[in-house]
Each structure stands twice: as C-alpha cells, then as structure tokens.
Chain A
Amino acid sequence: MTYDVLIIGSGLSGLAAGIRLAHFDKKVCIVEKHIEVGGLNSFYQRKNRTFDVGLHAMTNYTPKGVRTSPLGKLLKQLRFRHEDFQLCPQHMSEIRFPEKSLRFTNEFEFFVQEVAEQFPSQIDAFRKLVRKIETFDEIDLEGDTRTSASTVLKSFLSDPVLIDMLCCPLMFYGNAREGDMDFYQFVIMFKSIFMEGLAKPEKGMHFLLSLLVEKYKAAGGELRMGAEVESINAGRGKVESVTLKGGETLAAETVISSMGYVETLKRCLPEMSEVETWPTGQLSFMESLFVLNQEPRNLGFDKSIVFFSTRPRFEYRVPQDLIDITSGVLCCSNNFDYSEPPKEGLLRLTNLACFSGWNALLRKDYVQAKKQWRTQALDSILTFFPDFRDSVVFLDSFTPKTIQKYTGHLNGAVYGSPRKVKNGATPVKNLFICGTDQGFLGIIGATLSGISMANLHVLQKQLGTQ
C-alpha cells in the first residue's frame, strides 16, 4: 500500500496537516517517534500533576467572531468552533526593565498608551512603525526573509531601550536568530503578542492536542506512535518511501516532515549536501516550574507574563554560562481568565541557556547544575520580583538537553534554524517541511504551518491552481 501523504511528527503542525489531508480523503499516516503527541508543545506528568511544555501562553489570541486573524483562519480550516479550544485570555502582562516598564493587555491601544507615557519622545515614531507593521504581508510564502528587524527599528525609533523592550518578548517567544531578528518574523510576533494577544487553553496542551488527534482520526487519518524514522529514501531526487527504525518501510507519494530542515535532510538517503552548510538553531532555554501552596497573586504576582531584563540593555544570545540569569520570562499560569481557578499556584521561570554546556556535563554534575542554576536564576530575580521561595511545594526544571531528547530538534533549539524555508520546499521534489523551520511559530503559527503546507503542496496541486 502507498500512502498519499506520510507526515513525520505529531506536533501541532503535523497534526494540522494531517487533519486537512484526511478531511479531503487523502490516505495519510503520521509517524511519531515519541510515546506522546505534541513535539515542542507538549506536556508531561510528575507526581500526579500535568505540566505543559513549550506553552506559557498561546499567542495570536483573538476573540470569537474575528475570522481574518491567524486563529480565525485556523479554526475555519480545521473546522473547529472558537469555543472548542476553551481559551482563557490573559489579564495583563509586562515588559520589565531596570528603569522602565511597559504593560500590555489584549487591547492594543492600551499598549500604545503605555509607550506614549513611558517614551513620550518616541510615540509618533512608534505609531509610524505600527502602520508599517499593519500593512506588512508577513505570511507571504514567497516573501522577503532577509531584512533585519534591528535595521528597520533603528530607522523609526531613536531610543535603544524602547527597541530592546519591544524585542524582548518577541524574541523570547519566537526568534531563532541571535542578536537580531528577521523583520518579517518581528512582524509576525508583534502582531501575535501585542496586536492580537495572549490566552491559555483552560485544560492545557493535553486537551488541545487530544482535540486535534480526535479530529484527525475521525477523518480517517492513521497515527503511529513510537515510530521513529530511520531513513527517507530519496534516490533520484524523489522520495519513494520511508524506513522506520526496526526495518519497516512505508511507501508514500508525498512526505511532509516537521522534524526540522537539517534534521530532515540528515535522514535522507542519499544524504543531502545542504546539511553541511545550512545553519542549525542554537537558541534554547532552561525552564523551572514552581508549584505554590497559594495563589501567586497573594504573593504579589499579579501579571500573566513578565518579560524581564535586569540590565538596562537586553541581549538575546546563547550565554557563555549554562544559563543567562540577567533576563527571562516569568509566567504566572494562574493569572488568566479561567472559568474556575486552578487548584494550585504555578510560576514558570525561563532563561536563555547554552545547549553545548549542558550537553557536556556528566549525569551527576548535570543534576547538580540544574539545582545550582535554578537557585542563581531565582536569586537574580528577587531584586525584581517578590520572594516566593517559602511557598514552593514542588519544583522541576528542564534544560536544552531535555528538549533535544524529547523533540529531536538539534541543540534543543525550540525555534529551530535561523534560516526559514517559508514555502517548505527541499531539494527532494516530493519532500516538504512544516513546523518550526517553515517559520510560523507558536501554537497557532505551528498549526497554520501544517495547514498551509498541506494546502500548498497537496490540496492545491490537486485542484490545479498552482
């Protein structure tokens, strides 16, 4: 038997591509190496608690009825209703720097007012920048990917602190490049965080993923767990089949891979020469989760998410040390508009981290280093945030090494390679990529990535509209 489409990876992008294709009667199989679905946006269990990974909050939140937004498009394309996702909007978030603070809500005008108050000399220029962002077509699959955000921002704004403050959340939530960002990516993130907004699915990633899996299976799609790809057999520039670890071979007309660009080409037989020169992602994070015995609000944590830098200038780079304790993201999962408040308090602290440093440690040193750096990261933010250490009833941390192990992304690079392939094409004519390295990031972005690659490379081809 030959599948119409074989999809590698059951993260959001793979599942979304699968739903589209199965819905339109394609014979589809998703192969997933892990025992859980989700990839970079997944969940894990410890001591009877389920924790999301990858998710602090979902960006791109728009309310029911907004149909032209990325979320609106996604719902239409996958045939969901807005209420199916049970999204709970954020209360208020903040960008906190030593001398300045900018708060933002899901109402963009509030943020504009904050900029006007904190940076009065910049507000006219900021409004001009916003107009440029509003009219920019960031999702054009053939569009420009080379313009630097830093260059564009400097051409509008003269205060480097405002530039850093704008970049801080956008970089933390979706930048694969050190030091700078592609402008189209900046626009995607600016719209998704500031102009649209943040929310959390009431029941977490597990629930959201289950919805997708159910829809995929109901449409006739096949999902194989614990099925890792050994090789993508692509003689003469065309994939004939995919061989799984264990030797089984699956034939397919088209293969869509969410493994990452280099990760995918590395599995190709014969190996592709691009592998040598293509840049791999380097940026990864350490994250610690703190379960609290009370509402974080009672301890003075009233924001949904705080993006912070304890230094006046923010740097988004792989740190020399194991982690960078001078900046990060503090997410307070409780401060979203749930229909029922969560049973426990939860804070998550995320810092930039160095994969090679973590990967080089021996097992016992690794465990020790996690504790030590968690402590240092906490000490560093205590000048900036209330002390919550006495209220912690459970804690856990993961590192870039953990991320690589469970997602397969090289270096645990959660935003993949700095070089994106927006149209998903590879040197192999019927092999395409979706997900992180295609360039739409975040929960909604990843899902749209799967949808647009399935549309572009399979469904529209069949309609002859290309």
Chain B
Amino acid sequence: MTGEEVRAAIIDILNDIAPDEDINSINDTAKLRDQIDLDSMDFLDIVMELRKRFNIEVPEKDYEHLATMASCVTYLQPLLKDRQFAG
C-alpha cells in the first residue's frame, strides 16, 4: 500500500465508525479527536478494525501515533507496505 492507500483505508474505517460525519473534510495535521468527536471507545474501535482488516496489532503505547491522519499514515504505512489495497 502506498501512503495514499493507507489514508484511504483509514478513511474507510472512520466512515464505518462515524457514518454521520463528514470524513472527507478532515485536516490531516489536526487531531482527529477534535474534528470528529472520537472518544476512547472509538479509538479502540479503530485499533480493532485495523486488527480485523489487516491483522495488525497496535500496542497501547503506540496509540499516540493515531492522533492525526498524517501520524496514522506515517505509523501504519511501514506495517502495511506489502499489502494490497482492497478498498
């Protein structure tokens, strides 16, 4: 997956978790939490969706990397680089 594809995969997950939100207008460098009302339950869901869809484990100490879209992509892209985007 390219960085763009990883971003699309995350958008996909966010659309699933928050279907009523306007995910497309997300600012990549601002905190996700401030833009789409994500609480700690939602962050766990993002982690669990990553596990379900890509079989990757995000340990609790790394949750901070999921704070913004840009940091998500930076953190996840190396883990997903050999995957095909199914999006």
Contacts and interface: CB of A to CB of B under 8 A. Distances in A.
Contact of A67 (B37, B47, B60): B37
Given A77-B41, A455-B41, A64 B52 contact: no
B16 interface: yes
A81 interface: yes
Nearest to A72: B37
A82 interface: yes
Given A67-B37, A73-B41, A77-B41, A463 B20 contact: no
Given A68-B39, A76-B18, A79-B16, 8 more contacts: A24-B52, A64-B20, A76-B45, A79-B17, A455-B41, A459-B48, A463-B47, A464-B59
28 contacts: A24-B48, A24-B51, A64-B20, A67-B18, A67-B20, A67-B21, A67-B36, A67-B37, A68-B39, A73-B41, A75-B20, A76-B41, A76-B45, A77-B41, A77-B45, A79-B16, A79-B17, A79-B19, A80-B19, A82-B20, A455-B41, A459-B44, A459-B48, A463-B44, A463-B47, A464-B59, A465-B44, A465-B60
Interface string B71-86: 0000000000000000
Contacts of A121: none
Interface string B38-54: 01011011011001100
Most buried by B among A76, A77, A465: A76
A75 B20 CA distance: 10
B18 A25 contact: no
Interface magnitude class on chain A? 20 to 34
Interface of A: 23-25, 64-65, 67-68, 72-73, 75-77, 79-82, 455, 459-460, 463-465
Interface magnitude class on chain B? 10 to 19
A464 B60 contact: yes
Contacts of B51: 24, 463
A445 to B, nearest CB: 16
A81 B19 CA distance: 6
B32 to A, nearest CB: 13
Given A460-B44, A463-B60, A464-B60, A25 B52 contact: yes
Contacts of A465: 44, 60
Nearest to A451: B41
Nearest to A466: B60
Contacts of B42: 76
Interface string B6-28: 00000000001111110000000
